[in-house]
Amino acid sequence: MEPRHRETRLKRGSPDTNPWAPAQGSGLGHAAKSVALACLLCVPILSLGAWRMGSYWGAIEQARLAALEESRAHTALVSAPALPLLDAETAARGRDLFTSACVACHGAGGTGIAGLGADITRSPFVAARDDNEMVKFLVAGRPNAQPVGMPPRAGRDDLTDEDLHAIVAYVRGLQDPRRMPALREPVLAGVAPVTAGELDAALAAAGGDEELAEYIASGTKLFAASCTACHAQGGVGIKGNGPSMIGNAFVKSLDDDGLLAFLKRGRDPSDPKNTTGVGMPAKGGNPALDEDDLLDIIAYLRTLEKGNGSASAAK
C-alpha cells in the first residue's frame, strides 16, 4: 500500500512537482530584466535604422524615376501640342549670339561636334529645364565635363543674362522647329565697340601705328567673341581643347595669307599638326565673320607671337 500513498501525494502537488526556480541571490532575475530593457531600447534604434534604409532606397528610386522622366523629356516635348511661337527678334538675336559663342562646339545647327559639344537639338537635359534653369546652367557652365569642359557663359564673360535668355530662346526653336519664327538675316553679334582704353593698348602693341592699332583692337574684340570658347580669353588656351595662341609656333610659321586660308578652312581632328585631337571649324565656327574680320583677328594674333600677350588687355 505504501507506493500507492506516494502516488497520491505526487498527484496532490507534493514538493517534488513544483516548477524550477532560481536560487535566491543567483542574479538571473536581474539578468532577465536587463535583457528585456535592452530589447525595449533596440526597438527605436532598429526602427530608426529601418526608416533610414527605407529613405535611402526611396531616394534612389526617386532619382531613377526622375532620370527616366528626363530621358523622355524631348520626346514628350515634340509629341505634345506645340508651345507658342517664339519672339522673332529674341530668337534672331539668340541665333546670332549662338553663332558667335556656341557654334564652335555645338555646330551651326546645334547638332553637336564629336569630341566637343553634344547635340542640343534633341537634348533631354535641355527639354527638361525651364528657361531660368537653363540660364543658371549657362552661367555656371560645366567645366569638368568630358571629353571637353564647357566654361561658364561659354567662355564669354561679356554675355549678359539677357543675352543668355536670347540664346535659350533660340535653342527652344532648335528643339521644336514648330516654335521657330521666320528670322531676319544673321548679323555679327556680341562684339562690343572698342573703348579708348582698348585702343590705347592696341596702339602700344602696334608700336604707334594708328591704322594697325585699329585692326588689332577690332581683332581683339572679334577673337573674344568668336574664339575664346576654345582658346580662352587672351588666347591662353584651354587644355584638351584649343592650344594657347601666345607664342604659338604654328601661327608664327604662316604669313598672313597662309593664316587667313587656314582660318577659312579650319582643321580636321585627324590633321597630323592637330595637337589636341579636337577639330577647329571653319572661321572658328562663326560663318558671320568676313575676310576683313579674319584679318583683324590675325592682326591681334600677331601681338601674341612674342609670348607675352601684350594686347590681351584689350578685351
- Lowest mean pLDDT: which of 32-46, 68-82, 144-158, 295-309? 32-46
Domain 88-179 and domain 196-303 have a common topology: yes
Find cell 602696334 and name the residue: 206
Q: What is the pLDDT of residue 4?
A: 53
Q: What is the pLDDT of residue 66?
A: 67
> How confident is the model over 116-174, as pLDDT tens digits?
889 999 999 999 999 999 999 999 999 888 777 888 998 888 899 999 999 999 999 99
What is the CATH code for 196-303?
1.10.760.10
Write down the domain spans for the chain: 88-179, 196-303
179 CB-near residues (< 8 Å, 6+ apart): 82, 83, 84, 85, 86, 172, 173
- Residues 100/189, Cβ–Cβ less than 8 Å: yes
> Is a pLDDT exceeding 80 seen at residue 198?
yes
Tell me the three state secondary structure of residue 236.
coil
Q: What is the pLDDT of residue 144?
A: 84
Most confident range (mean pLDDT) of 49-63, 86-100, 176-190 is: 86-100
Most confident range (mean pLDDT) of 13-22, 112-121, 246-255, 261-270 is: 246-255
Q: What is the mean pLDDT of residues 217-221?
A: 93
- Separation of alpha carbons 141 and 314, rounded Å: 24
Fold of the CATH domain 88-179: Cytochrome Bc1 Complex; Chain D, domain 2 (1.10.760)
Q: What is the mean pLDDT of residues 58-83?
A: 84
Average pLDDT across the chain, whole number: 84
> How confident is the model over 262-292, as pLDDT tens digits?
999 988 888 888 887 778 888 888 888 899 9
Amino acid letter, residue 269:
P
Of 81 and 243, the structure prediction assigns the larger pLDDT to 81
Of 173 and 59, the structure prediction assigns the larger pLDDT to 173
Q: What is the mean pLDDT of residues 15-38?
A: 63
Find cell 530668337 and name the residue: 91
Q: How confident is the model at residue 238 (pLDDT cuts 50, 70, 90)?
A: confident
Question: To which H or E segment does residue 132 belong?
Answer: helix 131-140
> Is a pLDDT exceeding 50 seen at residue 97?
yes
Q: What is the mean pLDDT of residues 62-76?
A: 81
